[in-house]
Chain A
Amino acid sequence: MSLFNLILKSAWHYRKLNLTIILGIALSTAILVGALIIGDSVKYSLQQITVQRLGKTSQVITAGERLFSTQLADELAPKTGTETAALLRANGFGVIDGGELRINQLAVWGVDSMLGHFANDYESFILNGNEVAINENLASLAKLKVGDEFLLRLNKLNTFPANTPFVSEQEATVSFRVSVARILKPDELGNFNLQNIQSAPRNVFLNLKWLNEQMGLQQKANVLLVIEGVSDAELVQNLQKCWKLKDVNLEVRENQDLNYTELISDRVFVEPVVEQFCTKNIPGSQAVFSYFINEFTLNGKQAPYSFVSSDPKLTGNQMTVSKWLAEDLGVKLNDTVRLSYFEVGPLRRLVLKDTSFVVGQIYELTGEKADQNRMPVIPGLSDADNCRDWKTGVPVDLKKIRPVDEAYWKEHKGTPKAFVSLETAQKLWGNRFGQSTAIRVDGLQKAEFEKELLAGLLPSQLGFEVRDVKTDGLAAASGGTDFGGLFIGLSFFVLFAAVLLAFLLFKLYLGFRKTEIGTLTALGFSFSAIRKLFVAEASVFVLAGILLGIPFSIFYNHLILQAINTIWVDIVRTSIVNIHIRPVSLIMGSLIIDVMSFTAIWFILNRFLKSEVVVLQKRTENKQSHFLSGRKQLKTVESSRKTTVFNRLQSPSVVSKLNRIMSGRLSLNLGLFLITFSFFLLFSMGFRSGEINPEMFFISGFGLLPGLILIFDFWIQRLAVQEKAMRFSLRTMLLKRIAGERRRNVMIVSFLSVGVFMVVSTGLNRKDLTAHADLPSSGTGGYEWFVETTMPVLFDANSKPGREDLNIPVTAELVQFQSQPGDDASCLNLNKISRPRLIAFNPAAFDTRSAFMFATRTDDLDAKHPWLTLNRTLADDVIPAMADQTVIQWGLMKKVGDTLIYKTEEGKDLKLKLVGGLANSVFQGNVIISEDHFNRAFPSVSGSNVFLIDSPDNSLTADDLHTGMRNYGPEIIRTTDRLLAFYTVENTYLNIFLMLGALGLLIGTLGLGILIFRITFEQIPEYALLLSLGFSQSIIQRMVMREKFFLMIVSVFIGLIPAVLSALPSLMSSLYSNLWVWLPAISVLVILSGAIFSFVAVRVAFRQNLVGALRND
């Protein structure tokens, strides 16, 4: 016989009980390791989604709104030694079944066979004519199959920004019918997406060349993909070597007659960065600014629609006019001629202005003055054969055009009729797109000019950006929401209950072996030796529990992932979360359970040896303490050992009564204080200017809970003190039994009521977003509709023609936002986002109606007019920005006061300081700045695609908006519904907590069952006695069950009352009417499971040899 044998034999002898401990530990292991695996699985799945959506793409080259030549990809490939693909990306919407179904927010990709190289499938992207390949997500949404046709409408891409002054917006979209040739699976690059988001896009792939043709483009692209194998730095270097002027929409042309070389842009205006480079680095370069004016006026005579150009030799308000104009208007030297023109602002806002000039010279329309190249290339205008064919972006009154004007156009086209100083031209007509329409250099060869430009300009200055999307995507997938931690948090109550269960089982186990421990002590085993013996024995079942728990954890993980992929899909927004097990998580989880188990075992053993065994040794000295619980026995032993003078003078009953009264009063006073304080908080702060303050309700409930537990404790103590006054009956007996086990009963009630409170109050505490949604201070800003269009609305929707075009009544309030694409930083995206979508607007609209509320502020935020802060520029050119506090905190993992860095179109850093965090609003996922700052940083971004609309009389319906905005592919949603969509995530988390919490409560009641089991077994002699006194088994069982029922009901009530109080705002909400169901559900769960466990315990106890319990020791 060795100690090892003893351990094994003991483990085997108590195998039934050990098995329950093993199961308890296995359950804890399953929950903890399972939660860690969930974290691994979600992370792994996000990474897989990233790999799937990018294929072999490593880096991406984009140029903002700019289109570059597809040849850039061809030239870059051999230089970098890797493969590249040029893509043309456009937004669009599909009209299916003759308009029965419209699918917005389509990502349309012009592709060629090269994209197949990124998907290991060379065939997939070989598309001819109007053939399209769509991804499964779109096919499923639109119910499209191979062979189906639908109408595709796209925003027409141009080499110039859509809102370039004078360019007609009639060219903004293009539509054509397409035929579905292929439906691509995710692993066929069907979900190709450059945004860091797990949800599948709605992809349409078209032949690149064909798409170019439909848009009137030639070999243009705006996305360039690079396969793995080249570093970012190498790519940037090679891009510098490969780029051509046509890739940045620049062209150098020579005029040998007039001996100059000039640089012009497809974008009408030469970008400031290019102009600055030329004037600084190319000797003799001179900016030219030509502008389309409405009319010249002199003495009541007008000459309409002409070009005016710049002459560097002029200054101030000097003007030279052509002889043609002089004759037309009768201009003489020193006459003052008035020029009227449109100043074109953002969103094509036109301001009619006029300025007067003094005529200093009248020139002949010959030589350089007759140079037609002075007229910039403006699509729709400069290429028109006659004035009546003009398609301009500004209103042209064709009635004003005279035959002489037509004749002039036919002969001279847009040759300027007058010149003003460059300085004045730039001052009057300079805009966000540029300060010149050409850069001229006399005598410089075209090739030399081009060489200078290509060598001196950096692609990054012109909007080119190289992004390592694979690395960024994988980092975003890894750094996002930690589902492992999240599920440990959500499963906390289950985990706690499981651990508690294991500990209770171990304590029960020790209780069964109390006599054995006493024997070992009597045989000379030291406490230390006994402890070691039991720890060694415990290690057997801890190890067994962990080993058993690991497969359980995988099963638990399967269950949770199944739920995540189906009923809880709102929290992940994808249905492809797959299990992934990392050995390190298994080891870590097992180690945590191991450490927790041994710490608990050590603690329980120490306490047990110090209390129970001491009593055991003393039992022979004090046999009448047979019925007393361990703690009471210890007290009795101690009191018998330490008889003091005080004890002799005062009878023990007086002392204990005094103690009970004192501690009873303490419980009462403390309990009443907590209850009073809770209600004081509720009534003083629970209602804020007529509105319910849910946080205060929660705090009040939280305070009420211990108050009620203390009152229950007082009541039990009161029972004990007032026992004599009670008429002795079965009911009295029941109450006395409860009072007699005060500590245990208060512990049971505390444990269960806290559990009920935590689960119910947290699970039910939801925010009602529909309440007061019409108030400007709410998360809707008081607006009714949130609209996102697929295609940008290029004009001012608040203008009269704008409202007419969109069918928006004049009474409706409308705010439109420009946007710069970025990742979705809302709670709908699990990835870690560093650059959310930027949206910009005129903050005056929100300032006027004091819209939205700020959850957090910085000192920069103006106290009275917080929204107007957005118009300011802070120190070091930092721009103020705002976002939802949730986005700042969870999406960006930052705080107000922090700075976000974006890149401007010129490749410069755009520093945005988060000056305020909005309380939950419809802007979740976006960063907001003012339109002034936005237009400076992103001049090429044309139009707006986000709208907030409110009609005071609620007369504007979704159908009205759909009708008015149908050409823009609108996604129309009520602001309240948009908020609810965000809260669906939060509410799903709450549902998970509620469900796992209920599971935890169930396990908790199982633990309680064990406690009841232990108490019941300890009370076997009592039952035997009652049996001997003539009590029938059924009476005894009824009595015990009533006692347990009473405790369950009290626990549920004590837990529910504060829980209902704390969740009252949610419960009263019409939005969450189904929440009330949880109250009886949780109550029944606790009461029923507690009753079942109690019943089983009592039944098992009665199967024991009760009579034997009465036998003499």
Chain B
Amino acid sequence: MLLKLEKISKSYSKDRTILDQLDLEVNAGERIAIVGPSGSGKTTLLNLIGTLDRPDSGKMYFENQDLSEFSDQQLAQFRNEKIGFVFQLHHLLPQLTLLENILLPTLTDKKLQGKETLERVQKLISRMGLSEVAHQKPSELSGGECQRTAVARALINRPGLILADEPTGALDQKSAFNLTDLLVELNQEEGVTLIVVTHSMEVAKKMDRIYTLQEGKLVMI
């Protein structure tokens, strides 16, 4: 079991509970899609899984470790090592080249800045089809290229889990398909677990399981 959520609740006010006693179990290498209308709590759930936010109640285990007992510092390290994020907007730093943007997560730990990382980044760049533009800046590239860079950045530290929040939302249809295929391929090649929040059923259909959020709970479709 890679990830286990037990009775997770989250609300932003007394009157508005987003997640209510939510349970979820995810095995390593699985592909999960979460769909649902806006405001149903998809991103909130993803942020909780990614430890960017803490639940009001409930337990969250990653590789059998109780994340609720982690300090902020430990959570930061956890995110750095175990989680990879892909957002709707690529959120690449404009002053860095694509290569540097991919290497960004390695800056937190000097041990990550060795030869192995360089080989890893070369491989990822090559895999993402970014070799020719690796030294360009985000402003000089297309949206698809930027989003692929964001995926490579998410993978650089060999995370166990990729959390993608509407990764194709800002792309045209062709680029969206390409990116979805790429994510699936990477899931298969790297064995990385994938949780994707999406509005697109076409993207969702490429996942192993599809959930929707109803009244704060996950319901499998």
Q: Which residues of A contact B (CB under 8 A)?
A: 623-628, 632, 636, 651-653, 723-724, 728-730, 732-733, 736-737, 739-741, 1021-1022, 1024-1035, 1107, 1110-1113
Contacts and interface: CB of A to CB of B under 8 A. Distances in A.
Residue from B81, B100, B143 with most neighbouring chain A CB atoms (10 Å): B100
Interface string B67-93: 000001100111111010101111111
5 interchain residue pairs of minimum CB distance: A1030-B80, A740-B95, A1032-B76, A1112-B88, A1030-B79
Most buried by B among A724, A733, A1110: A1110
B108 A624 contact: no
Given A1110-B91, A1111-B43, A1112-B89, A730 B139 contact: no
Nearest to A1029: B105
A1113 B81 CA distance: 28
Nearest to B87: A1110
Contact of B89 (A651, A729, A1035, A1113): A1113
B190 to A, nearest CB: 18
Given A729-B107, A1112-B43, A1112-B166, A627 B52 contact: no
Contacts of B83: 1028, 1030
B91 A1025 contact: yes
A949 to B, nearest CB: 72
Contacts, number: 123
A636 B81 contact: no
Interface in B141-198: 141-143, 146, 153, 157, 165-166, 169-170
B77 A1030 contact: yes
Interface majority SS on A: helix, strand, loop or mixed? helix
Given A728-B103, A730-B107, A1107-B47, A1032 B81 contact: no
Given A733-B107, A1028-B50, A739 B95 contact: yes
Contacts of B141: 624
B154 to A, nearest CB: 9
A1112 B76 contact: no
Interface stretch (B2-10, B130-138, B204-212): B130-138
Interface-central residue, A728, A736, A1026, by most chain B CB under 10 Å: A728
B93 A1028 contact: no
B22 to A, nearest CB: 18
Contacts of A736: 95-96, 100
Nearest to B53: A1107
B134 to A, nearest CB: 10
Contact of A1029 (B80, B94, B97, B99): B80
B169 A1112 contact: yes
A727 to B, nearest CB: 9
Contacts of A1035: 76, 108
B153 A1029 contact: yes
Nearest to B76: A1032
A1030 B105 contact: yes
A1021 B107 CA distance: 18
A728 B96 CA distance: 10
B202 interface: no
Contacts of A737: 95
A636 B141 CA distance: 12
A624 B135 contact: no
Interface residues of B, number: 50
Given A1022-B93, A1028-B50, A1032-B76, A636 B139 contact: yes
A652 B140 contact: yes
A1030 B70 CA distance: 14
A1107 B90 CA distance: 14
B113 interface: yes
A1021 B85 CA distance: 14
Given A627-B94, A739-B95, A1107-B47, A1028 B140 contact: no
B128 interface: no
A627 B92 contact: yes
Contacts of B43: 1111-1112
Contact of A740 (B94, B103, B165, B170): B94
A348 to B, nearest CB: 88
B108 A1031 contact: yes
Given A624-B146, A1110-B91, A1112-B165, A1030 B76 contact: yes
11 contacts: A624-B89, A624-B170, A627-B92, A651-B140, A652-B139, A740-B93, A1025-B93, A1029-B80, A1030-B76, A1112-B43, A1112-B169
A636 B100 CA distance: 22
B78 to A, nearest CB: 8
Given A624-B143, A625-B139, A636-B139, A1031 B76 contact: yes
Given A724-B135, A728-B103, A740-B94, A1028 B72 contact: no
A1081 to B, nearest CB: 35
B26 interface: no
B219 interface: no
A1034 B74 CA distance: 12
A1021 B135 CA distance: 23
B140 A653 contact: yes
Nearest to B94: A627
Nearest to A1039: B107
B87 A1112 contact: yes
Interface string B32-44: 0000000000010
A730 B107 CA distance: 6
Contact of B81 (A628, A1022, A1030): A1030
A623 B90 CA distance: 10
A259 to B, nearest CB: 117
A11 to B, nearest CB: 27
A719 B179 CA distance: 34
Contacts of A653: 136-137, 140
B97 A723 contact: yes
B91 A627 contact: yes
Given A1033-B72, A1107-B52, A1112-B169, A623 B143 contact: yes
Nearest to B138: A624
A822 B94 CA distance: 73
A642 to B, nearest CB: 16
Contacts of B50: 1028
Contacts of B146: 624
Contacts of A1107: 47, 52-53
B52 A1028 contact: yes
Contacts of A740: 93-95
Contacts of A728: 99-100, 103, 107, 113
A729 B105 CA distance: 11
A248 B142 CA distance: 105
Nearest to B80: A1030
Nearest to B143: A624
A1110 B46 CA distance: 12
Nearest to A656: B140
Nearest to A733: B107
A1034 B81 CA distance: 18
A1035 B146 CA distance: 25
A622 to B, nearest CB: 9
Given A623-B170, A1107-B52, A1112-B165, A1029 B88 contact: no
A1113 B88 CA distance: 8
A624 B90 contact: yes
A1032 B53 contact: no
Contacts of A732: 100
Nearest to B147: A624
A624 B101 CA distance: 15
Given A1027-B52, A1030-B105, A1032-B76, A626 B89 contact: yes
A625 B89 CA distance: 10
A298 to B, nearest CB: 115
A627 B93 contact: yes
B89 A623 contact: yes
A624 B150 CA distance: 12
A1107 B153 CA distance: 18
A213 to B, nearest CB: 95
B81 to A, nearest CB: 7
A1110 B92 CA distance: 12
A730 B103 CA distance: 11
